[in-house]
């Protein structure tokens, strides 16, 4: 049971709340019980205190010699009648030496009053309620009187000096009617509180269950996710903190499901991209080995094999590059870069390739000197890689004799570079998917010029984001495509 309590959150909540409520209800019940007891006994106590003052005056007169034993006893009886009770005076041995009931004199104090007697000898005084045997008139019998029935008495004890000796006085007054009322009040306090406590316990149990249920479901869902079950969901139920946690957990599972689907697609695409050239390579090698391909054509097919090997090398390099970028292990070497100058350097390197394809390159640089000197905090090598990806993409999809336009512009604290081609363009659906890994907008051209890996734009997008930039695309079928880069300008070197 203790082990289960330690392991169960809802049981911890339930018992914690229940213990708090029990302590609160107990404190409340004790407070009201004592309050009403004091309220009902207040007048009686005050009466006994007043009569004790009278007895002290009588004792003083007795000690002065004004009163004798007979007058002392008469005075005690008169005082006791005022509160309808009895008075006992005892010596230090606990023997009653004076009593309003003569039959009690010479008897020893009942055991139930011994504790109060000892306190009075220590110069203390106080009240308490005690059940004592009563005789026919309804007054307490002497300590050793015939026992008939017991009744409740309010007793007040006090030290008393009599003839120079320390004695103890006990005042008894019947409070059976008050005790009955107090008991009734206590009953009316405790019974509702007990039923309230049961009701509160039930409510707390339900609430604790409700609070713990989403956490238990999250635990089950977590174990299911470990088993690759991403179809499980947690009921959100409410908009409170627990509901928000459940909602966030569901979002996390959906994201994990998306990543798992992406991983599976990635593995399938990698397998396909690797299997196709490897199958082709194996086929050509076996054909040459079995002389299916004549020896005079071996050189041509070896060139084809070399192209496929190079494409496989590029694919592996780009996969590793993409993995480093996505995992955050790729280190950017940022520095203020004169971006117009850097763009011009990239264009000069790729210009021969554009010219060899029979394409025209148009470059539009900023007009003002301030814009041409604009600095952007970049990794120059990664920026060059992004531009090369976009330019090679434009070269691939632009027919011979057409144009590729590169324009640069700085305004509103940002630098903009756009690469536009005049190729066949893309449909809206193709535009949505170009950032996906291994997606090729024109699969029919994948084999030309060594083919593409389908990772260039994915890598470019991640690199741009890693350098606090943005990349966008706009395309019109039959007219061409425009890729636009935006980077924030930096103040100085």
Does residue 101 register a pLDDT over 80?
yes
Q: Which of 252, 267, 63, 75 is nearest to 165 (CA)?
A: 63
Contact 377, 413 (CB under 8 A): no
Rounded distance between C-alpha atoms, residue 263 and residue 58, angstroms: 105
Does residue 3 register a pLDDT over 60?
no
User: So what's the pLDDT on residue 272?
Assistant: 64
pLDDT tens-digit series, residues 193-221: 788 878 887 887 777 777 777 777 777 88
**Mean pLDDT across the chain:** 80
Domains defined for the chain, CATH in brackets:
2-188 (3.30.450.20), 241-327 (1.10.287.130), 335-442+453-488 (3.30.565.10)
Rounded distance between C-alpha atoms, residue 169 and residue 88, angstroms: 6
Rounded distance between C-alpha atoms, residue 395 and residue 389, angstroms: 10
User: So what's the pLDDT on residue 336?
Assistant: 92
Does residue 320 register a pLDDT over 90?
no
Angle 187-191-193 from CA coordinates, rounded to 5°: 120
Rounded distance between C-alpha atoms, residue 433 and residue 439, angstroms: 7
pLDDT tens-digit series, residues 396-433: 889 998 999 999 998 888 999 999 999 888 888 888 88
pLDDT mean over 463-471: 88
Q: What percent of the chain has pLDDT over 90?
A: 17
- Between strands 335-338 and 360-364, the pairing is unpaired
User: So what's the pLDDT on residue 138?
Assistant: 43
Does residue 448 register a pLDDT over 50?
no
Which bin fits 400, alpha (ψ -120 to 50), beta or left (φ > 0)? beta
Please state the pTM of the whole predicted model.
0.47
Confidence of residue 437 (pLDDT cuts 50, 70, 90): low
User: So what's the pLDDT on residue 37?
Assistant: 73
Does residue 364 register a pLDDT over 50?
yes
Rounded distance between C-alpha atoms, residue 289 and residue 280, angstroms: 14
Number of C-beta neighbours around residue 125 at 10 A? 16
Q: Which of 168, 55, 153 is nearest to 117 (CA)?
A: 168
- Between strands 375-378 and 126-134, the pairing is unpaired
């Amino acid at each position: 049971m203790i082990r289960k309590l330690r392991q169960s959150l809802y049981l911890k909540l339930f018992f914690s709340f229940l213990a708090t409520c029990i302590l609160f209800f107990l404190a409340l019940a004790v407070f009201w019980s004592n309050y009403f007891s004091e309220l009902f006994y207040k007048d009686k106590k005050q009466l006994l205190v007043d009569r004790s003052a009278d007895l002290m005056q009588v004792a003083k007169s007795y000690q002065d010699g004004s009163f004798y034993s007979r007058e002392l006893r008469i005075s005690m009886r008169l005082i006791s009648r005022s509160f309808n009770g009895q008075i006992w005076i005892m010596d230090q041995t606990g023997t009653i030496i004076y009593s309003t009931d003569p039959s009690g004199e010479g008897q020893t104090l009942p055991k139930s009053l011994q504790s109060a007697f000892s306190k009075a000898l220590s110069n203390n005084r106080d009240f308490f309620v005690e059940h004592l045997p009563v005789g026919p008139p309804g007054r307490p019998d002497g300590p050793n009187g015939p026992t008939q029935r017991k009744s409740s008495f309010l007793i007040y004890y006090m030290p008393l000096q009599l003839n120079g000796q320390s004695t103890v006085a006990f005042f008894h007054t019947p409070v059976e009617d008050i005790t009955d009322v107090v008991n009734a009040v206590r009953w009316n306090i405790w019974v509702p509180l007990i039923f309230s406590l049961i009701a509160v316990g039930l409510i707390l149990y339900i609430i604790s269950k409700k609070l713990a249920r989403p956490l238990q479901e999250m635990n089950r869902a977590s174990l299911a996710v470990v088993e690759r079950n991403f179809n499980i969901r947690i009921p959100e139920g409410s908009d409170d903190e627990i509901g928000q946690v459940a909602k966030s957990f569901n979002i996390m599972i959906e994201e994990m499901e998306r990543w798992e689907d992406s991983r599976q697609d990635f593995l399938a695409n990698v397998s396909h991209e690797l299997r196709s050239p490897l199958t082709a390579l194996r086929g050509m090698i076996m054909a040459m080995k079995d002389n299916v391909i004549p020896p005079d054509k071996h050189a041509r097919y070896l060139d084809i094999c070399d192209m496929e090997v190079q494409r496989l090398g590029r694919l592996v390099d780009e996969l590793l590059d993409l993995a480093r970028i996505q995992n955050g292990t790729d280190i950017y070497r940022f520095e203020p870069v004169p971006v117009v100058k850097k763009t011009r350097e990239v264009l000069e390197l790729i210009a021969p390739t554009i010219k060899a394809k029979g394409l025209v390159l148009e470059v539009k640089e900023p007009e003002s000197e301030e814009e041409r000197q604009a600095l952007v905090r970049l990794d120059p090598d990664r920026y060059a890689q992004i531009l090369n990806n976009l330019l090679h993409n434009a070269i691939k999809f632009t027919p011979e004799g057409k144009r590729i336009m590169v324009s640069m512009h700085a305004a509103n604290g940002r630098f903009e570079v756009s690469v536009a081609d005049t190729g066949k363009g893309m449909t809206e659906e193709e535009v949505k998917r170009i950032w996906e890994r291994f997606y090729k907008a024109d699969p029919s051209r994948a084999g030309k010029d060594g083919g593409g890996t389908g990772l260039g734009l994915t890598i470019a997008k991640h690199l741009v984001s890693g350098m606090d930039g943005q990349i966008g695309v706009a395309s019109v079928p039959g007219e061409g495509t425009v890729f636009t880069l935006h980077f924030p300008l930096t103040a100085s070197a």
